[in-house]
Amino acid sequence: MHELALAESVLQMVDEAAQANGFRRVRRIVLEIGQLAAVDPAAMRFCFDAVVRETVADGAVLEIEEIPGRGWCVHCAAVVPMDDFVAACPQCGRFGVQSRNGRELRLKTLEVE
């Protein structure tokens, strides 16, 4: 379950922001997670709630926005939607689609008091 490691890295980003900006509480966090990162939002929330206990983000609402995966076909150069690493190109039907995005994990919004 890599959600635990991800939740910890999110907390680290929040902690760094808290030190840089001097806020004491986080009310809402919006995360952008690429579809290809294979993150289970329910597991992510569960792990997040566990790791933020007694930190600045204790009780914060975690919102997860999924970014659709996109790939680029090495054969016909089409840019195609991608929800799996092993998929044939929908344009030419050949295998060789390389992921362009969809694996990111980004802190999009941080609402603090």
* Residues binding Zn ion (CB under 5 A): 73, 75-76, 78, 89, 91-92
Nearer to Zn ion, 91 or 101 (CB): 91
Mark out the alpha helices in the chain (DSSP H runs): 3-21, 41-51
**Closest separation in Å from C-beta 51 to Zn ion:** 41
**Closest separation in Å from C-beta 91 to Zn ion:** 4
From first CA to last CA, the distance across the chain in angstroms is 32
Nearer to Zn ion, 12 or 98 (CB): 98
Neighbours of 59 (CB within 10 A): 12
